Chains A and B, each alone.
Chain A
Amino acid sequence: MTSSGAAQVHPAVLLRADRVGRKFGGFTAVDDVTMSVGPGEVVGLLGANGAGKTTLIRMLLGLIATTVGDVELLGGPPDRERRTHLGYVPQGLGLYGDLTVRENLAFSTQAYGAVPPDLPEALRAGAGRLVADLPLGLQRQLAFLSALAHDPEVLVLDEPTSGVDALARAALWDTIHEQAEKGVGVLVTTHNMREAEQCDRLLLMSQARLVAQGSEADIIGSTTAVAVRCDDWARAFAALNEAGQPVMLAGRDVRVADADADRVRTVLADAGVTADVFGVPATIEERMMVLARAPEAP
């Protein structure tokens, strides 16, 4: 398979946004975002719905224009030619449900002038089946295969593992890491915060801005949570909930995001609940919740 052209020489940066912003009328979807993805890197893009992830991706892919700032794909503007070196798996997978597995692959590879790859064992048995009739895990595998057939140098994946089981998820991450080891730069969004560990680097967006980046620890920053262990968790939960604390259940423990341990102790004591109260590191979700509730992005 050939992947020809200037992009054969890997530039140091495959995807770049430089102080990029995008408005839709009076609404700011992306505000002053600077980020990049280099060869062989797996970069995770995290954020709640409406944080601006999809708009940022669409600008990086050249599907919509920026309002301010520049984006670069493979060292230049994301034009048609450069996009042929890109593999993209959208959230909706971009497959044709009323075509068979083999037909889908033939269609998508032909669009890129590539040769349809051999089907992996899991898909071979269903090669003649309509895609709409396949389980979601196999549909996702096929979408990956289609996106990879033309040997892209950049891979953009929008929630690639949503809805599949642990084993299918592991298989998809195997593929992602294999690509990265070949030098492909990967930008991936996920709503499964457990998958943060699969990424070399994380970007966290909230309210249109890039608010943190780096490792999981960098993302969580100074946000902490409080764990409450108590024989009568239901009473502890009710007392904290009534006091307006952002409380949730974790096994038999009660967790309070972004709370002060002393305040939690006071609330419980006032309610006559005896409990062990201790500070614990926050999770990424808790960090995101705190950011989403903030009146303004910090």
Chain B
Amino acid sequence: MTFAVRSATVRFGDTLALDDVTLQVEPGSVVAVVGGDGAGKTTLLRTLVGEVQLERGEVDAPTPEAIGYMPATAGSWLSLSVAQNMNFVGGIYGLSGDALASRRDALLDRAALRDSVDRLSSQLSGGMRRKLGFSMAMVHDPPLLVLDEPSTGIDPVSRVDLWRLVSEAASAGAAVVMSTTYLDEAERAASLLALDGGRMLASGTLQEVLDSFDGAIARTATPHRRAWAWRRGRDYHEYWPTTAEVPLDAAALIPDLEDVVIALSLLRGHDRRPTS
């Protein structure tokens, strides 16, 4: 079945944290929720796991015991060892004895943590701690896996490892929702949802997001309107409402996700089309 949050609006006091946001995830696939600090990623994930109530909209999610949730705070107890963390969480889900041991060992093997079973979580590197958090979220083999920024602040090699673990979970049939600040992770997912200030900037497969972008991006050495241009290396990329408006000294290009997300963020910020 498809898990989803549909047309979700969430308010914390006077703050509109989510404004009409829809997220869908199929079993055996990864959906990336991408955005910066304060975009609403965590709030959206928490609606899916039932920690946040909607003002409007609906949630289609399994019962809590069928969800694996890794919060952005990494989700392990720092003063417990790797094995103790796994045993504790496994126990909560009713695993014990050989079943728990074999599940624990298999997950720690995959995460390359078998040699660290007796180390305290506090002694692990950031990347290892995220892999432990991931393994804990996976202990009961949940059909829905919700990962809040599993890769923030860890190095590229650990990110590749984590992405492999996430891929593995999806290939085994889990529906995976993960938030990230990295656009390349969003590109690698089966589909993505870009959030900005609690609103949807774009959603769909990478190709759908790129194809649905309405406007033109041109490369230029000197931007014509500074407010609509951003750097890509020493050159600028500049947004134009239509290809016909791209000036002669600029070259229209095929935008990538970075260009599209920046252009959509600028458009949202201005909330209107620029005049050229």
Asked whether B168 lies within 8 Å of A166 as measured between CB atoms, the reply is: no
**Cβ < 8 Å to A, chain B residues 208-240:** 230-234
Contacts of B183 in A (CB 8 A): 166, 194
Q: Of A164, A191, A237, which contacts B167 at CB under 8 A?
A: A237
Q: Given A168-B36, A192-B182, A193-B184, is A247 in contact with B156 using a C-beta cutoff of 8 Å?
A: no
Contacts of B159 in A (CB 8 A): 191, 285
CB distance from B21 to the nearest CB of A (A): 16
CB distance from A153 to the nearest CB of B (A): 20
Asked whether A249 lies within 8 Å of B30 as measured between CB atoms, the reply is: yes
Bound together, the chains give a CA A289 to CA B258 distance in angstroms of 24
CB distance from B193 to the nearest CB of A (A): 14
- Does B141 sit within 8 A of A, measured CB to CB? no
Contacts of B258 in A (CB 8 A): 166, 194
Asked whether B160 lies within 8 Å of A170 as measured between CB atoms, the reply is: no
Contacts of B166 in A (CB 8 A): 249
Asked whether B171 lies within 8 Å of A166 as measured between CB atoms, the reply is: no
Q: Of B152, B157, B187, B262, which contacts A162 at CB under 8 A?
A: B152
Bound together, the chains give a CA A68 to CA B171 distance in angstroms of 49
Bound together, the chains give a CA A165 to CA B183 distance in angstroms of 9
Q: Given A167-B262, A248-B167, is A193 in contact with B156 using a C-beta cutoff of 8 Å?
A: yes
Residue with the greatest number of chain B CB neighbours at <10 A, chosen from A47, A238, A250: A250
Bound together, the chains give a CA A174 to CA B238 distance in angstroms of 13
**Cβ < 8 Å to B, chain A residues 138-195:** 162-171, 173-174, 177, 191-194
Asked whether A164 lies within 8 Å of B36 as measured between CB atoms, the reply is: yes
Asked whether B168 lies within 8 Å of A163 as measured between CB atoms, the reply is: no
Asked whether B187 lies within 8 Å of A251 as measured between CB atoms, the reply is: yes
Contacts of B168 in A (CB 8 A): 237, 241
* Chain A: number of interface residues, binned into ranges: 35 or more
Contacts of B152 in A (CB 8 A): 162-163
- Does A197 sit within 8 A of B, measured CB to CB? yes
Query: In this complex, what residue of B is CB-closest to A136?
Result: B37
Asked whether B167 lies within 8 Å of A286 as measured between CB atoms, the reply is: no
Bound together, the chains give a CA A42 to CA B38 distance in angstroms of 29
CB distance from B112 to the nearest CB of A (A): 11
Interface size, chain B (Cβ < 8 Å): 50
Q: Given A163-B37, A174-B231, is A191 in contact with B155 using a C-beta cutoff of 8 Å?
A: yes
- Does B125 sit within 8 A of A, measured CB to CB? yes
Contacts of A248 in B (CB 8 A): 160, 163-164, 167, 188
Query: In this complex, what residue of B is CB-closest to A234?
Result: B171
Bound together, the chains give a CA A163 to CA B196 distance in angstroms of 14
- Does B206 sit within 8 A of A, measured CB to CB? yes
CB distance from B234 to the nearest CB of A (A): 7
Contacts of A96 in B (CB 8 A): none
Contacts of B206 in A (CB 8 A): 251
**Cβ < 8 Å to A, chain B residues 124-168:** 125-127, 152-160, 163-164, 166-168
CB distance from B158 to the nearest CB of A (A): 7
Contacts of A174 in B (CB 8 A): 230-231
Query: In this complex, what residue of A is CB-closest to B237?
Result: A170
Asked whether A163 lies within 8 Å of B188 as measured between CB atoms, the reply is: no
Sampled A-B contacts (17; CB under 8 Å): A48-B156, A49-B125, A49-B127, A162-B181, A163-B36, A166-B265, A174-B230, A192-B184, A194-B182, A234-B172, A234-B173, A237-B167, A248-B188, A249-B171, A249-B188, A257-B160, A285-B160
On B, residues with C-beta under 8 Å from A are: 28, 30, 35-39, 125-127, 152-160, 163-164, 166-168, 170-173, 181-184, 187-190, 196, 205-206, 230-234, 258, 261-262, 265-266, 269
